[in-house]
Structure 1
Amino acid sequence: MESLPGLHITLTPQGVMALKPPASEAAQQVKDVEHRSPIEVFLSGLQSVGSWKGFLGYAAAAGFVVWIGLFTNTSYLLVAAMLIAPFAGPAMNVAIATARGDRHLLQRSLLRYFAALAVTIVVAGALSLILRQEVTTSLMNQTSTVSAVAVLLPLVAGAAGALNLVQSERSSLVSGASVGMLVAASLAPPAGLVGMASAMGRWDMAMNGVFVLLLQLVGINLSASLLFRTYGLSAQGARYNRGKRWVSLSASAATVVALAGLLTWQFSTSPDLQRSSRSQRAAAEIQKVMNGSGLGELVEANVRFTATDIKGQNTLLGSVYVQRPIGATLSSEEIRSRVTRAIQTRLQQQGNVTPLIDVSVLDPPPRQ
């Protein structure tokens, strides 16, 4: 058919149920669902591109919504921004281009990815400048807090996005919108944070956001491109030229190098990019101190890194509640002083933190 002049082919990829007699085997035949072919995966990725105006319009809308959410500490607005943000399409197309070795698609997808991020960042930053925001909110602080296991989210999101694209419509149990939200979940809030923090001159928070955005792109690209290759999307095709092998290998190598570089950056600048994990570790150390001190029973310990940028220190703020042991001869003030010194000494041994610990000694009610 390719030799026919003026040939036009229209594909209508609708799910169908191909059944054959006998009728008793219909249930088994329906359960036999094939995944999409490599050309279908590629074309479905291209269909998600859309026009520049609509694409950037959604990015700007996501910037408005994520700014309102971060500014007013309204978490459900961050969920709304994740649904609006158009980051999932370019991120998955980067993975398709990497597996396929398509340099043109790779360049165009990266351009759209960073263009959307730039629009969201600029909108959020402009709103902070216009309204003269000077104080960070608690939701901004939470968004800027990075965990040591932050790399797992983009790896899972990339795999989920790739699975959604390779599975047929009737085989997928998860909607495309849900998968797109999972991909955007790790992109929309940090993008808004970068804009707001930059407008306020909080470059430490802005750098945390930039780190998360880069980590998401390379993590999603690594897991998604590997899954696409598993399902047959490669630089070599039986019926058409899908791309160049050297482009695929170069993009994959660059992804691995970038991911290694980001992880090196994360673990070499402790605790800046590990604050969530370091806070949990500090709470565990406080539990160990109290178990071995004999000065009382630990009731609760709340530990977090503060948002206040005190030059030359990483402030670890802790509120510790201790129950005074029955029959203790030491005064509450002496117990408080000894527990505070013991906890601060233990936490300082963890390295590069300034622990500010407030210990409250609580007396149990007298026994009847």
Structure 2
Amino acid sequence: MRQLIIQVPRGHGDTVINIAKSLDAQNLAEFAAHNGEDEAIDVVILHVSNHKVDPLLAKLQDLPKLHITLIPSAVIPLQPPASEAPEQVKDVETLSPIEVFLSGLQSVGSWRGFLAYAAVAGIVVWIGLYTNTTFLLVAAMLIAPFAGPAMNTAIATARGDYQLLWRSLLRYFVALAVTILTTWTLSLILRQEIATSLMIANSQVSAVAVFLPLAAGAAGALNLVQSQQNSLVSGAATGMLVAASLAPPTGIVGMATAIGRWDMVTDGIFLLLLQLCGINLSASLLFRVYGLSTQGTRYQRGKKLVTRLAWIITVIALSLLLTWQFINSPYLERSTIAQQANAELQNVVKQVDLAKLVESNVRFTRPNIEGENTLLCVVYVQRQQGVTASAGEIRSRLTQAIQTRLNREGFNVTPLVDVIVLEKG
């Protein structure tokens, strides 16, 4: 339920009451008053369900000198008998489209605080990546102001609002630029020369990377359209989910630029573009499902052409990014391929049946060796009971079998395998 305070010239209050009753408004009150210009007015206080806010505003629109105060928080109008109170409060609805849109406009506010948060997020993500401290990356996700512009871009796409769209995109890319510049500057000042292990781990792209922004966009849109009482997940959590797909690659781009690791820069930029397209596609579609359209009450600047063009550009960009990802295998699928290679490696050890697997680590090496995609496989095994072959023979046979399997499966890698046979003391 939403509370609205309606001010109209004296004599029009009954019209407001009748319109509100037709939309099942509750706890209505009307009284005479004077406004700031000492004009006689009627003031009506009413409570109406969320999904009827837009229809109510549409029916009131033609009244002269109409002033509306919409209270953007849930209210609980109670009516007699008191025994029905539990039934009266359990009906929880999604927000009205006008509220979702206006909240997006309100968030496009001061630049000073926005840029300050982007810079602070850059400092925190740099410390996390530089010191290999994972929880600092989580802190940076909470601070980073990327979720707001990303979700406003989706709102603008659903609404067909060109002005909000370009302002949201501008804020998005400015925030990314500030964070990248911050991490780049810190790496230069501290004379960083090599990539840290956390940078390497977070820069590797998975074949299923597109699912994260799609899920983040859907979660963000759901959070914005749900009423406070019906939201099972906090806004901070969904905002962090959006930032989780943006903060680490942003920091990596700045730090990798400072140390000249252009392969990692390419990975980071790919991820940033993939996140924006994925978030915009899923979130804007969900906003349309929940009623955001190009034209609405007290909103006339939306254009269907803008919505269609934004969707076409988003889908084309997402398709090009995914095509680039899969035709350059394994360059932008290293995380997934490393996991698949590890599974094949473990199967080989079982099939050869000379030793039991203790542990295996499979990862791509970052130094670029021209013409090769070097996959480093370190395998720890323990000889099977009753096997009399020497450690050297076990090592040789397993190494050859693993390399043969990985080459045969078409991973397009150069496998460097190190088998270590552990002996009982």
TM-score by length of 1: 0.95
Residue-by-residue CA offset, 1:228-274 (whole Å, 9 max, x unaligned): 00000011325532500011011011111111111111111111111
2:228 match: secondary structure: coil
In structure 2, C-alpha distance between the alignment counterparts of 1:292 and 1:5, rounded to whole Å:
84
2:251 is the counterpart of 1:251: no
Question: Are the equivalent residues in 2 in contact too, given 1:305–1:315 (CA < 8 A)?
Answer: yes
Equivalent in the alignment of 1:298? 357
The answer to whether structure 1 residue 307 and structure 2 residue 358 are counterparts is no
How does 1:84-95 map onto structure 2 within 5 Å? 84-95=143-154
Structure 2 match to 1:140: 199
Give the alignment partner of residue 102 of structure 2, picking from 43, 61, 65.
Answer: 43
In the TM superposition, residue 132 of structure 1 has moved relative to its aligned partner by: 1.5
Matches within 5 A, 1:1-368: 9-237=68-296, 240-349=299-408, 350-364=410-424
- Report the CA distance between 1:46 and its aligned residue: 1.3
Q: What is the aligned residue count? A: 365
> Comparing 303-312 with 25-34, which one deviates more in the overlay?
303-312
Measured against aligned partners, the alpha-carbon deviations of 1:130-186 in whole angstroms (never above 9, x if no partner) come to 222111101101110111111111111111110111111222122211111111011
Percent sequence identity is: 69
Cα deviation per residue 1:301-342 (whole Å; 9 max; x = unaligned)?
111112233333222111112221222232110110110011
- Paired AA for residue 396 in structure 2: S
Q: Secondary structure at the match of 1:71?
A: helix
1:34 offset after TM fit, Å? Answer: 1.4
Determine if contact 1:123/1:195 at 8 Å carries over to the other structure. yes
* Partner Cα distance (2:341, 2:62) in 1: 71
Whole-Å Cα distance in 1 between the matches of residues 315 and 366 of structure 2?
32
* Worse-superposed segment, 136-145 or 352-361: 352-361
CA drift of 1:297 comes to: 2.1
User: Which amino acid counterpart does residue 348 of structure 1 have in structure 2?
Assistant: N
State whether residues 183 and 254 of structure 2, in contact with CA within 8 Å, keep that contact through their aligned partners in structure 1: yes
Q: Which has the higher strand share?
A: 2
> What is the Cα deviation at residue 291 of structure 1?
2.2
**RMSD value, Cα:** 1.7
Q: Secondary structure at the match of 2:205?
A: coil
In structure 2, what is the Cα distance between the partners aligned to 1:312 and 1:111?
39
Q: Which runs of 5+ in 2 are unaligned?
A: 1-7, 9-60
Contact 1:38–1:231 (Cα < 8 Å) also in 2: yes
Distance (whole Å) between structure 2 residues aligned to residue 124 and residue 6 of structure 1:
53
CA distance in 2, matches of 1:238, 1:194: 43
Deviation at 1:221, TM superposition (A): 0.5
Structure-1 separation of matches of 2:380 and 2:298: 70
Q: Distance in 2 between matches of 1:303 and 1:351?
A: 13
- Distance (Å, rounded) in 2 between the aligned partners of 1:236 and 1:11: 19
Alpha carbons of structure 1 residues 24 and 5: separation in structure 2 relative to 1, 3 Å? closer
Quote how far apart the aligned CAs of 1:6 are. Answer: 7.1
Report deviation, 1:364: 4.5
Superposed CA deviations along residues 198-221 of structure 1, whole A, max 9, x for unmatched, are 111100001100011011101100
Tell me if the contact between 1:324 and 1:364 (Cα under 8 Å) persists in the aligned partners: no
Equivalent AA in structure 1 for residue 80 of structure 2: P
Quote the Cα distance in structure 2 between the aligned partners of 1:238 and 1:81.
38
Letter in 1 for 2:276: L
CA apart distance, 1:292:
1.8
Aligned 8 A contact 1:266 1:274 in 2: yes
Larger radius of gyration: 2
Provide the C-alpha distance between the structure 2 equivalents of 1:245 and 1:196, rounded to a whole number of angstroms: 41
Say which structure, 1 or 2, has more relative contact order (CA 8 Å, 6+ apart). 1
TM-score, with structure 2 as normaliser? 0.82
